[in-house]
Amino acid sequence: MQYKQTPPIQYIPVFEAAARHLSFKKAAMELCVTAPAVGQQIKAFEQWLGKPLFKRQTRQLSLTAEGVYYFKASKTLMKEHHAAYAEYTRRFDHSSLLVSTTLFVAQELVMPNYLSFNDLSPGTELRIEARMSHVNFDAEPIDAAIRFGDGNWPGLECRLLDTSTVSPVCSPSYAKDNAVSDLSELYKQRLIYAQPSIIDWGKYFWKNGITHPNDSIMCDSYLAALKAASDGLGVALAILPSANSWINDGRLVLPYPIQIDIKKGYWLVYPKTEKIKPELEALFTWLKQIFTAVPNLETPLKTLDINL
């Protein structure tokens, strides 16, 4: 950038304040300088641009067309500067962690245990962002994420929180009203899929060439899929043990006494660095404790190990 071809940056906050207040005096009070000093800065700015920015009338100040244009630009610049400084203070002046995870994990596991994180990392501000998409650590100011998968994400440190199995689930009313006892006929049920992770789960239970009815349901999140199943809309695929509480309390039932080991689990991931932040170590320990504390299923299941 050729700075000599642009106005001196120190003119911008002075002009923005004066334009916002339409008063050199009020701008001076905000900036902790004198009104003549504001007037001098504005005059210097106008001389640099070669255009007037204000219409100066007796006891009244208004913007010219040039002033209106530059005020819009200066507001955007100052807004971004304030936002960047706020993020800077959160990340460097105070101990903080911004963690991304799915809506289900955030609502069912993380937030109910939120206050206990302070026991492991006192004074650290923990912020949780629930989302469906994966984090772009190169472009977003996020410290870590909880992901479901096989742990193969190049360039990231991947630390296993819990291994997982899956099993079909439905509501008690759906199980009562539909023939769900024969696993070989699961494909005949109304199936509920969850983007982005649970959208191709038929391969776990039936061979290629078998198609299921067209009235399947596609949900935009795993939480929505489980909720749809608990409302009696069909059969969803539950990730165990994260969904154990929904099954133990009767919101969902297991119509088939099996679970499939799909070689996936929940992982804490973050960019690889030479030195890990102690807050991240505390985060991993805390999350590991949360996943370990998930209650066991009250219904025993036979585990099937299949090759995917």
All structural domains of the chain with their residue ranges:
3-93, 96-162+266-292, 164-262+294-305
Examine the pLDDT at 265 and tell me if it is beyond 80. Answer: yes
Examine the pLDDT at 91 and tell me if it is beyond 70. Answer: no
- Residue 89: pLDDT band (50, 70, 90) is low
Burial of 261 (0-12, 13-18, 19+ CB in 10 A): middle
What value does the mean pLDDT take over residues 262-277? Answer: 86
**Beta-ladder partners of 112:** none
Integer Cα distance of 269 and 153 in angstroms? 8
Residue with tokens 């900036």: 31
Name the nearest CA neighbour of 87 among 135, 125, 132, 138: 125
Integer Cα distance of 304 and 26 in angstroms? 73
What value does the mean pLDDT take over residues 18-43? Answer: 91
pLDDT at 291: 96
In the structure, how many helices (H) and strands (E) does the chain have? 10, 11
What value does the mean pLDDT take over residues 135-153? Answer: 88
HSE, side-chain direction, 13 A CA sphere, residue 302 = 6
pLDDT at 1: 44
Q: pLDDT tens-digit profile of 234-248?
A: 999 999 999 999 999
Asked whether this chain's domains 3-93 and 164-262+294-305 adopt the same fold, the reply is no
CB 176 within 8 A of CB 153: no
> To 10 degrees, what angle do helices 35-49 and 24-31 make?
110
Q: What is the mean pLDDT of the chain?
A: 87
Q: For the chain, what percent of residues have pLDDT higher than 90?
A: 56
Domain covering 96-162+266-292: architecture: 3-Layer(aba) Sandwich (3.40)
More confident residue, 286 or 132: 286
pLDDT at 276: 76
Please provide the CATH number assigned to the domain covering 3-93.
1.10.10.10
**Out of 43-47, 173-177, 210-214, least confident range:** 210-214
Residue 233 corresponds to which amino acid? L
CB 266 within 8 A of CB 148: yes
CATH topology of domain 164-262+294-305: D-Maltodextrin-Binding Protein; domain 2 (3.40.190)
CB 143 within 8 A of CB 280: yes
pLDDT at 7: 84
pLDDT at 80: 87
Task: Classify 176 as helix, strand or coil.
Answer: helix
Integer Cα distance of 211 and 192 in angstroms? 14
- Residue 308: pLDDT band (50, 70, 90) is very low
